[in-house]
Amino acid sequence: MTQPKKTWSDRFETSLHPAIAIFNASIGFDIELIEYDLTGSVAHATMLAHTGIISSEEGDTLVKGLEQIRQEYRDGNFNPGVDAEDVHFAVERRLTELVGDVGKKLHTARSRNDQVGTDIRLYLRDKIRDIQQQVRDFQTALLTHAENHVETLIPGYTHLQRAQPISLAHHLMAYFQMAQRDWERLEDVFKRTNISPLGCGALAGTTFPIDRHYSAELLNFDRPYQNSLDGVSDRDFAIEFSAAASLIMVHLSRMSEEMIFWASKEFSFITLKDSCATGSSIMPQKKNPDIPELVRGKTGRVFGNLQALLVLMKGLPLAYNKDLQDDKEGLFDTVKTVQGCLEAMTILLSEGIEFKTTRLEEAVNEDFSNATDVADYLAGKGVPFREAYNLVGKVVKTSIAADKLLKDLTMDEWKALHPAFEEDIYAAIAPKQVVAARNSYGGTGFEQVRLAIADAKKIMD
C-alpha cells in the first residue's frame, strides 16, 4: 500500500511503514472530538482575522469551510481513514480540498499540541455538564422514593448484621448526599477544565501577534493557561474528572450491591420489575438483577482508566509527548460508562423496583435491633449506660435461648431484670418509636428525615 503524502513529507526521505502508520494513527478514536475540533478551529480562525494575521475574507472562508465539514460529518459523509493520521489532519486536509490554499493558513500560530488540548477540554466540559444533569436525575429518583417512605422501616446494618431499625427514606437519602457531593466535585473539576490552552503553540507560544484572551473568550473558557508548557502538557483536569467519575461509580456500585441482595429470596426487600430484570437460559424460575450487577462490574473499568491516566502522566518530561495521545480512549470510555450506569440506575430506581413494605415491616419486628433502646431506656432512668448495656446483653442471651423477642417479655420478667422498668418499656421498644426517637441532627428520626428531604428539595430547585 502506498502511503499518501504526509504533512511533513518534504522533510522526510521515505514514507511511513504501513503498519507504523496504523500504530501511530489516532483517527480511529479521536474522531469523537471532531465537533470540538471544528469549534476550536472556528475560534482560532476568527482570532486570526480579528488580529489581522489573516484577512477577514480569509477568516470567513475558513469558518465557512469548517462549518461545511461539520455538516458533512453530521450527514455521515465525512469518514476519514487511517491515512489522515488524526482528526486534526483530517479536518485540515478536507478544509484545503474545500476552500483551496487558504485552508493551509488555518494552522498559522497553532500546533496540534494546543489544538488537541483545546479539543479535550471542550469535550470534557460538555460531558461534565451532561453527567451533572444525570446525577440530578438520579437524585430526583432517590428523592421520590424517600418522600414515599419516610415512615417505612427497614433494618439498618453494621457489619451486615442487623443493628438498629431505620427509616427507608433515611437509607435512600444517604445515597442522595453522596450524589450531591459527586455533583459538587464535578462542578469543581469544571473550573479546572475550563481553561484555554489555545495559542500555547507547540510548547513555547508563537511569534505571531495572537490574542489568546480573545480566542479563550470565543470558546467560553474562563481564561487562557498562563504558561504555554503547562497548557500543552497538562492533563490533570482529566485525572480529576476520572477520579470524580470513579467516586460516582463507588457510590453506584455500593447501591448496586444492596439492590442485588435486597432482591434475593433471603432478603426479599424489593421486587424487580420485568422491565429491569432478566431471566436465565436454563433455570425457568430465575429473575436476575443484571442492571446493578453490570454497574458493579463496570466500576472496575472506570478505576482502571483513572489508574492508566495517572501512570501515563507520571514520567512525562515537559512539554508534549506522544504518550499523551493515549489519554483519550480511557477518558472516552469513562465518560460513556458513567453515563450508561447513571442512566440505568436511574431507570432501575424510578421504574424498576418496588419495596416490599409488608416484608420490611416483618423484618424490623423479628430481631433484637431494639436492644440499644432498652439500654437507652434504663440509662434514661439514671442507670449508668455501661451497666444497662451489660444487663440487656444478658437479656438478649436468655431470650434467644428461650426463643423469645424482647417484646415478648412479660412485665414481671422486666421487673425481675431491673426495678426501673415500667409499662412504657413496650412502647419504647416498638420499631416505629425506636426510629422516631433518634431525633438527633442527621439521625433517622422521622422529623430529621423530613428536614433532610426538605433541604434536598431546596438543593434541587
Q: What number of residues does the chain have?
A: 461
CB closer to ligand ARG out of 61 and 233: 233
**Closer residue to ligand ARG in complex, CB, 324/456:** 324
Which residues lie across from 166 on neighbouring strands?
154
152 within 8 A of 167, measured Cβ to Cβ: yes
Distance, CA of 124 to CA of 128 (rounded, Å): 6
- Which residues on adjacent β-strands are paired with residue 354? 271
Least gap, CB of 202 to ligand ARG (angstroms): 7
Shortest spacing between CB 79 and ligand ARG, in angstroms: 18
Closest approach of ligand ARG to the CB of residue 67, in Å: 22
Active-site pick, 9, 56, 264, 280:
280
Task: Kindly tell me which of 201 and 292 has the beta carbon lying closer to ligand ARG.
Answer: 201
Angle at which helix 112-148 crosses helix 168-193, to 10 degrees, equals: 160
Q: Which residues contact 198 (CB under 8 A, 6 or more apart)?
A: 40, 43, 44, 110, 114, 115, 117, 118, 212, 215, 216, 219, 224
Residue 293 · residue 260 · CB < 8 Å: yes
Pick between residue 58 and residue 234 the one whose CB is nearest to ligand ARG. Answer: 234
* 280 labelled catalytic: yes
CB of 49 to ligand ARG, least distance (A): 24
Taking Cα atoms as reference points, which of 231, 199, 31 lies closest to residue 111? 199
The residues binding ligand ARG (CB under 6 A) are: 26, 30, 86, 112-113, 116, 320, 322, 324-325
Selecting among 56, 159, 264, 350, the annotated active-site residue is 159
Nearer to ligand ARG, 32 or 86 (CB): 86
Grid cell in block for residue 78: 465525512
59 versus 231: smaller Cβ distance to ligand ARG: 231
3-state secondary structure of 272: strand
Taking the complex as a whole, the smallest distance from the CB of residue 297 to ligand ARG amounts, in Å, to 29
Decide: 344 and 291 in contact? Cβ < 8 Å: yes
Q: Which of 144, 130, 182 is nearest to 457 (CA)?
A: 144
Query: For residues 30 and 82, is the Cβ–Cβ distance under 8 A?
Result: no
Q: How far is the CB of 117 from ligand ARG (least distance, A)?
A: 9
Give 126-179 as a DSSP string. HHHHHHHHHHHHHHHHHHHHHHHTTT-EEEEEETTEEEEEEEHHHHHHHHHHHH
Strands 223-224, 195-196: pairing kind? parallel
Output the nine-digit C-alpha cell for 317: 518530561
User: Given the complex with ligand ARG, which of 19 and 283 has the nearer CB atom?
Assistant: 19
CB of 235 to ligand ARG, least distance (A): 10
Catalytic residues: 159, 280
